[in-house]
Amino acid sequence: MVPVIALVGRPNVGKSTLFNRLTRSRDAIVGDLSGLTRDRQYGEAKWEGRSYILVDTGGISGDEEGIDEKMAEQSLLAIEEADVVLFLVDARAGMTAGDQMIGEHLRKRNKRSYLVVNKIDNIDPDIARAEFSPMGLGEALPIAGAHGRGITQMLEAALGEF
Ligand code: GDP
Ligand code: MG
């Protein structure tokens, strides 16, 4: 069985940058404009010689009303089909209402999820983790996707049991 890992989170938290790093593809569009990735994007990647499927999503803004509208359809589908969800948040932006809404959905859905605090370059990882601890999704994994920090530990957590 090839595990499927979904990258979920608000637009602009760094999902596509991480996707590209892990799959070494340029398929996912990276940019400062929110919501650039419209559909789910699949890539194959390897960790310690084992293949897994990575799914990039367009993001859930949390600006809409009601849980069904708040969760972008593609992101919801990606969560459903994933074995593991990597829920990315932005250490620079801090915890937002959109983050809390996504976290709530993942808790209710009882999906195997890991809270990943991205963009910890220039930020103390412990402070970043503490800021997101009220999310109630356990110890956050601090990474800097653009620079490759924390990636090994994150993959070990997500894939270690497969
Ligand atoms: P997405 O909308 O979640 O897919 O986010 P993107 O991957 O498109 O990235 C949004 C912005 O965050 C871009 O300007 C990236 O260069 C930037 N970014 C991504 N990862 C990091 C990181 O580890 N550190 C910093 N400082 N910026 C990052
Ligand atoms: Mg993207």
How many Cβ atoms from other residues are within 10 Å of residue 48's Cβ? 9
Q: In angstroms, what is the span from residue 2 Cα to ligand 2's centroid?
A: 23
**Residue 85's pLDDT is what?**
97
Atom of ligand 1 nearest to the CA of 118: 23
Per the structure block, which two tokens stand in for 3? 């595990």
User: Considering only CA atoms, which residue is closest to atom 14 of ligand 1?
Assistant: 32
**Residue 26's pLDDT is what?**
55
Spatial distance between the Cα atoms of 73 and 92, rounded to a whole number of angstroms: 26
The interface pTM score, or ipTM, of the predicted complex is 0.99
Amino acid at 120: I
- Helices H, strands E: what count in the chain? 6, 6
pLDDT digits (tens, 9 = 90+) for 104-157: 999 999 999 999 999 999 999 999 999 999 999 999 999 999 999 999 999 999
Q: In angstroms, what is the span from residue 146 Cα to ligand 1's centroid?
A: 7
Q: How many domains does the chain have?
A: 1
Atom of ligand 1 nearest to the CA of 7: 3
Q: What is the CATH number of the domain that holds 134?
A: 3.40.50.300
Give just the sign of the alpha carbon dihedral 121, 123, 127, 131: negative
- φ/ψ (deg, to 5) at 31: -170, 175
Helix, coil or strand: residue 142:
strand
Q: Model pTM?
A: 0.89
Distances (CA, A) of 47 to 98, 101, 110, 159: 30, 30, 25, 8
- List the domain range (segments joined by +) for residue 90: 4-159
**Residue 42's pLDDT is what?**
87
pLDDT digits (tens, 9 = 90+) for 32-48: 444 444 556 888 899 99
145 annotated ligand binder: no
Q: In angstroms, what is the span from residue 22 Cα to ligand 1's centroid?
A: 14
pLDDT digits (tens, 9 = 90+) for 44-102: 899 999 999 999 987 776 665 554 454 467 788 899 999 999 999 999 999 999 899 89
Spatial distance between the Cα atoms of 158 and 114, rounded to a whole number of angstroms: 7
Spatial distance between the Cα atoms of 157 and 112, rounded to a whole number of angstroms: 11
